[in-house]
Amino acid sequence: MIKLGADSVEMREMSDDDIFSSRLKLLIIMIKAYLKDCPLGNYRKQAIIENANQVFYHSLQLVSESSSLKDHGIDVQTDIVSGEKISAEHMFHQRVKLLAVMAKAIAEDRSMGSFREKAITDNLNKICETLIFNFQVRDVDFLKVA
């Protein structure tokens, strides 16, 4: 049998960022499935809630630890009120946190109108654009597994 993928000596431990990325992608897939009228059973609802919580808090932690925000002296509350330009990284994490809140609301069967559906769709599209735009060629190696 042919073994495809990385040799065990080339593998590394998964970092918190790897787990965050995987959970975010799973959350995106589950919300897109919901928007295409796929049914939400109890297990999927629980998975959405758990992933949304993890993504929200990890994103919050990344923003607070971000050296780019600290280096530029950006204070989130001041900048939102004053209207100063906020970094793209900060905006991405704000969108991710919003997606997590929206996903949790969906899983908890809160009412969903056309405006909320459009807001979720727009937010998903912006997040996906950012993920695709920041895609690095070195990230393709994991796709070579069968």
- The 8 Å CB, 24+ separation contacts for 25-28 are 25/131, 26/51, 27/51, 27/52, 27/55, 27/99, 27/100, 27/103, 28/99, 28/124, 28/127, 28/128
- Which tokens go with 109? 């069967």
pTM score of the predicted model: 0.71
- Cβ–Cβ < 8 Å for 23, 16: no
Stronger pLDDT, 64 or 48, i.e. the higher one? 48
Average pLDDT (126-145) is: 63
Taking only the tens place, the pLDDT of each residue in 74-103 is 554 445 545 555 678 888 889 999 999 999
85 by DSSP, 3-state: which?
coil
pLDDT at residue 134, rounded to an integer: 53
